[in-house]
Amino acid sequence: DAKTTQPNSMESNEEEPVHLPCNHSTISGTDYIHWYRQLPSQGPEYVIHGLTSNVNNRMASLAIAEDRKSSTLILHRATLRDAAVYYCIRNAGGTSYGKLTFGQGTILTVHP
Amino acid sequence: DAGVTQSPTHLIKTRGQHVTLRCSPISGHKSVSWYQQVLGQGPQFIFQYYEKEERGRGNFPDRFSARQFPNYSSELNVNALLLGDSALYLCASSFGVTRNQPQHFGDGTRLSIL
């Protein structure tokens, strides 16, 4: 199964950076790492994805370890609207594509 | 551009009934996936359709079925409803089926079984 491990919860203060870790020690060489977040009463929202290199977009940065066994989602300046459940997912593609295996995720609390 | 739209937003049914949930993908997206999210848990994969063909099925009973239409919209059908089917049903769309493509989710249909 496409297993990842994340802390159950994390807390941050508004306007501070947040580093959300994810372990995926059994990842294969062609699996992408995707991050989604889910705000209350909404469907999951795509955040970012990557394969080997670090990635940046308007929402966040993704740092992938050299051995690819872990990654970190970085929110550069947390806002109250970033309070959500964050899911780290291995996307194996091929016949597995479309089957995103969500774990429990990390509940991020942002304090004013 | 419109995102993924799902209807209805809320639905109440009783045990034994049948339900049909609908999903319209983002324009140009050819893949639709369905997920079930029970309160307090992450979404669980039910089905994936691409170009009107089933490409994946999760560990759900045969009471669950789906189809995709020529315009790429999709329906999820659940027969003989059980109390345990109460959940948020999510639809996600993507352009294709490669592993580097993100999926875009709707806000779901909240199904309550009495």
Segment A71-94 mean pLDDT: 91
Nearest Cα residue to B74 out of B89, B87, B60: B89
B109 touching chain A per CB within 8 A: no
* Ramachandran class of B51: left when φ > 0, alpha when ψ lies in -120 to 50, beta otherwise: left
pLDDT tier for residue A1 given thresholds of 50, 70 and 90: low
Interchain CB contacts (distance < 8 Å): A and B: 78
- Rounded CA-CA distance A107/A101 in Å is 17
Please give the average pLDDT of every successive group of 10 residues along chain B, which has 114 residues: 92 97 96 95 93 91 97 97 97 85 94 96
Contact B48, A97 (CB under 8 A): yes
Which tops the pLDDT comparison, A87 or A3? A87
Interface test with A, best of B9, B49, B103, B110 (most A CBs within 10 A): B103
Segment A80-101 mean pLDDT: 83
Measured in angstroms, the CA of A64 and the nearest CA of chain B are apart by 15
Measured in angstroms, the CA of B15 and the nearest CA of chain A are apart by 25
Residue A42 confidence (pLDDT) above 80: yes
Segment A31-54 mean pLDDT: 93
